[in-house]
Structure 1
Amino acid sequence: MAMRAARAEEDIRRLSAEERAARGRSARRKAPRSDHGEFEPSADRQDPVDVLERQSAGRVADLVPIRYGRMVESPFRFYRGAAAIMAADLAHTPDSGLRVQLCGDAHMLNYGLLGSPERNLLFDINDFDETLPGPWEWDVKRLAVSLAIAGRENGFDDGERAAIVRATAGSYREQMRRYAAMSHLDVWYTRVDAEQLRTLGTAELPSRGRRKLAEALAKARGRDSLQAAGKLTEVVAGELRFRSLPPLVTPLSELLPGKERSSLEEQIRDMVESYGQTLPSDRRHLLRQYTVVDMARKVVGVGSVGTRCWIILLLGRDGGDPLILQAKEAGESVLAPYTGPGEYAMQGERVVAGQRLMQAASDIFLGWHRVTGIDGRERDFYVRQLRDWKGSVEPALMAPRGMRTYGELCGTALARAHARSGDRIAIAAYLGSADVFDRALVRFAESYADRNERDHQALAEAVASGRVVAESA
């Protein structure tokens, strides 16, 4: 399948810009733009709780109740953890046949501020656990639905939510048309610098919104390994060690008995050394300047809860020179049953390759490794800094105007990511200059938000009946 995809890409590169645009316009016959507004669950749609339970089967058993506890809190939190459910639904929606590298879980909280290697603050997609090549529409729809659900929870009316989704889709469409007219290098170098946020629609924000933006930018610049170490570590017998904050952060010294702990510690040390081979030589040299001093298990996200995630404390020159890496388990993408597995045998490499392709600038320590666990099973991981000038938003604090601006920024970032990997000329021609697709997405977002509420209720009923156990953490 990977070979067929490569041949198809080569065939596309041979087409002229006019032929690629014609290819995009002809795709409207296969999937009319207005048809993207329709959502009807398939007749054989799986029970949503069944889907979640199958995902949980391979996860750390004592953490799975935390996942359910987080997802049952609200329809929005459920949606964040329900990428596998939506992937199955998206496989039955209209498809233009135009492929890109997908984020795979492009909901609104998987965008945010991050630091580039040049120490610039950027706005970009920041989660790639599910990344795979697939239909560009899937990412746009997952983003649109997340905004509709967040708008409902904030009490926005139908018109306000429609304006937010329509503006988000319009931003994606207009930016893709802009990228279609640019050279390959210009597209590749394009990025959304955080300082540009003040001019990308934020001028419409009231003074309170602009003040909150300035605060978010300042806060993001302070979120680095030094800040993380101050929050997550303490001095024990003169040595810097991770704090015990179970179940969210559990040092290995508390997690396993002596012999098993020693074995796991050795494996993680080996992973840090071996994964460095996936880094460029200069960054591999930098990594070797650090020494591993402690490790802990960390609970992350909503949908990721229960996957194995280790945080690793390294020290450089002295105790004031910390580096905290996060090694997160990478399983098969939720998209794989519908798009095919992709070209990478290692799931950690899949995540890293997708991230490097889609992001304007990736973490300097981003790499991958395959580990044979103490249970004898092979597992794939990807590694990055725990924090590197990262900043995120809180949807509950957004007014309609602020969420609309944020949606436009997300649409801009997503279009740039897709333009790097897919046929931007064909996608732009398919979307066109009219807002047909934008308006269709409003209908889809509301229909799927209804479906998400019913799925959330199904989980709540499963918890109430004792079918699954949920815990707060």
Structure 2
Amino acid sequence: MATQQTGEAAEARAERILEVFAEAFGELLAADPAAFRVKFRKMAASAFAFYRGTACLFYADAAEDDGPGGESGRKGPFLDERTGRVWIHGDLHAENFGTYMDANGRLVFNVNDFDEAFVGPFTWDVKRFAASVALLGYGKALSDELISGLVRTYAGAYRERIRALAGGGEQSGDGTPPALTLDTAHGPVLAALRSARTNTRFGLLETMTEIRDWERRFAPGGGAVALEEDVRSEVLEAFDAYIATLPGATRFRSDAYRVKDVVGRRGIGIGSAGLPSYNILLEGHSDALENDLVIYMKQAQTPAVSRHITDPAIHGYFRHEGHRTVISQRALQAHADPWLGWTELRGAGQLVAEVSPYALDLDWSDLDDLDDITQVVGDLGRATATMHAAADDESGHSLVPFSTERAIDEAIGEDGEGFAQMLTDFAHDYGTRTRHDHQIFVDLFRNGRIPGLQD
């Protein structure tokens, strides 16, 4: 297990962190240093917040630890030419799960935020999640033994669901893997779904818009930024191109796409610092003002994991990062948001989706009972397996032309104990490393050693 770094080792790690940050954040940081000051102050708050914001560092370490090898491009336990090349979430940690309304109008609890999704080793997803459990557990003062139990619960639930899906079991009525819904969820996950169910689009509109001259418009303030006319025109042109990327089965009446207002956005998530973003107010499903709808358009980012995947067939599959994000989400998430699409703005790929009132993240701050935490971790293990199984030869994309669940099931085989032990060992080791890295980062930041952010 990792130990506290001192002296030369700590300084070498500090230089490594700065090197990775320069590659991952350099251009965006130079363009908007104020946004990165906010991002980094949020990351300084805790080791887990630091972990959330540094997928780039995680994959730099993972690539060094696993190393290149074989046709899969990576060597390591449970990896072969297939399991080293599956659709992965790319930033799978315990807080990247929540509720959403799927294309069938069903509230679902599942993985969310696919900004970092790509094709790579499935073990990188489950390892990243396992380390996040160790960090959350440490933050709740759980013993190493209890943390090990949680990681093993996750590993066991993942293994059990993968095996069931590989055998053709546990399919829903439409042939997709089973989902956590109001009918199937229990405990804190069910509570999250019920909370999301009480929200309404009208309630969301009330927080973002106002009625002026008998028409709905975005309200000033609250992170909304008025646009210059030339920028507005560019955004509207990009919006027109986006409409053509929506799946034909989910196209709405033509009036639904009528634009009522457009604004810029400030104050978006920890992982999107420096990325331009816009909100667009649409007519929606009817002429009634209460049915207006808000979508967002934001510049998609280069996924951290992609810097360590060298297969040109993978990189060449995507037109741009917006296209990559949408295609990945549609592959990994059954019945994705019907408003999910892509476009280009000033040569940069954009992700477009609904600002949904039904999207709520799981709140770990209120999860303190060990039984509740254990139940949630098991649910997330099953959700991870369901996500991996959704994205394969049946998802309509040629990048992964085989059954993911069967490939993973065969790779783990009868070594479920070895799989669980691998994740447990990694969780403790990388959790310890991250806590040390967090302290190094705080010292780098507060002492003005991050280039571009010196006061």
Range of TM-score over shorter length: 0.7 to 0.9
Cα deviation, residue 237, structure 1: 6.2
Report the counterpart of residue 128 of structure 1 in structure 2. 114
Report the counterpart of residue 394 of structure 1 in structure 2. 363
Q: Are 2:55 and 1:69 equivalent residues in the alignment?
A: no
Identify the match of residue 379 of structure 2 among 401, 409, 412: 409
For residues 58 and 318 of structure 1, do their structure 2 counterparts lie closer, same or farther at Cα, with a shift above 3 Å needed?
A: farther
Report the counterpart of residue 369 of structure 1 in structure 2. 343
Please give the residue correspondences for 1:424-443 in structure 2 after superposition, counting only pairs within 5 Å: 424-433=405-414, 434-443=416-425
Q: Are 2:16 and 1:47 equivalent residues in the alignment?
A: yes
Larger helix share, 1 or 2: 1
Report the counterpart of residue 313 of structure 1 in structure 2. 281
Determine if contact 1:123/1:194 at 8 Å carries over to the other structure.
yes
Determine if contact 1:244/1:250 at 8 Å carries over to the other structure.
yes
Determine if contact 1:234/1:240 at 8 Å carries over to the other structure.
yes
For residues 135 and 461 of structure 1, do their structure 2 counterparts lie closer, same or farther at Cα, with a shift above 3 Å needed?
A: same
Q: Are 2:350 and 1:381 equivalent residues in the alignment?
A: yes
Report the counterpart of residue 34 of structure 1 in structure 2. none
Report the counterpart of residue 21 of structure 1 in structure 2. none
Report the counterpart of residue 279 of structure 1 in structure 2. 246
For residues 223 and 79 of structure 1, do their structure 2 counterparts lie closer, same or farther at Cα, with a shift above 3 Å needed?
A: farther
Cα deviation, residue 262, structure 1: 0.7
Partner of 1:278, secondary structure, is: coil
Cα distance in 2 for residues equivalent to 1:38 and 1:196? 43
For residues 401 and 470 of structure 1, do their structure 2 counterparts lie closer, same or farther at Cα, with a shift above 3 Å needed?
A: farther
For residues 145 and 224 of structure 1, do their structure 2 counterparts lie closer, same or farther at Cα, with a shift above 3 Å needed?
A: farther
Report the more deviating stretch, 149-158 or 286-295: 286-295
Please give the residue correspondences for 1:208-223 in structure 2 after superposition, counting only pairs within 5 Å: 210=187, 213-223=189-199
Cα deviation, residue 464, structure 1: 1.3
Please give the residue correspondences for 1:119-158 in structure 2 after superposition, counting only pairs within 5 Å: 119-158=105-144
Cα deviation, residue 241, structure 1: 3.2
For residues 267 and 164 of structure 1, do their structure 2 counterparts lie closer, same or farther at Cα, with a shift above 3 Å needed?
A: same
Report the more deviating stretch, 342-351 or 50-59: 50-59
Partner of 1:293, secondary structure, is: strand
Report the counterpart of residue 346 of structure 1 in structure 2. 320
Report the counterpart of residue 3 of structure 1 in structure 2. none
Report the counterpart of residue 194 of structure 1 in structure 2. 181
Determine if contact 2:255/2:283 at 8 Å carries over to the other structure.
no
For residues 127 and 407 of structure 1, do their structure 2 counterparts lie closer, same or farther at Cα, with a shift above 3 Å needed?
A: same
Higher relative contact order, chain-length normalized (CA < 8 Å, sep 6+): 1
For residues 214 and 192 of structure 1, do their structure 2 counterparts lie closer, same or farther at Cα, with a shift above 3 Å needed?
A: closer
- Amino acid of the residue matched to residue 306 of structure 1? G
**TM-score under structure 2 normalisation?**
0.82
Cα distance in 2 for residues equivalent to 1:164 and 1:184? 24
Across the two proteins, how many residue pairs are aligned to each other? 408
**TM-score under structure 1 normalisation?**
0.79
Report the counterpart of residue 233 of structure 2 in structure 1. 266
Report the counterpart of residue 80 of structure 1 in structure 2. 52
Cα distance in 1 for residues equivalent to 2:157 and 2:55? 23
Cα distance in 1 for residues equivalent to 2:427 and 2:146? 13
Cα distance in 2 for residues equivalent to 1:121 and 1:195? 7
Q: Are 2:266 and 1:298 equivalent residues in the alignment?
A: yes
Cα distance in 2 for residues equivalent to 1:191 and 1:185? 6
Partner of 1:299, secondary structure, is: coil
CA RMSD of superposed structures (Å): 2.8
For residues 281 and 431 of structure 1, do their structure 2 counterparts lie closer, same or farther at Cα, with a shift above 3 Å needed?
A: closer
1:341-399: per-residue Cα shift (whole Å, max 9, x none)?
25112211111111111112200010001111xxxxx2111111011522221212112
Percent of paired sites with the same residue: 27
Unaligned runs of at least 5 residues, structure 2: 67-75, 393-402
Unaligned runs of at least 5 residues, structure 1: 1-36, 203-209, 254-260, 373-377
Cα deviation, residue 188, structure 1: 4.9
Q: Are 2:304 and 1:326 equivalent residues in the alignment?
A: no
Cα deviation, residue 467, structure 1: 2.9
Cα deviation, residue 315, structure 1: 2.8
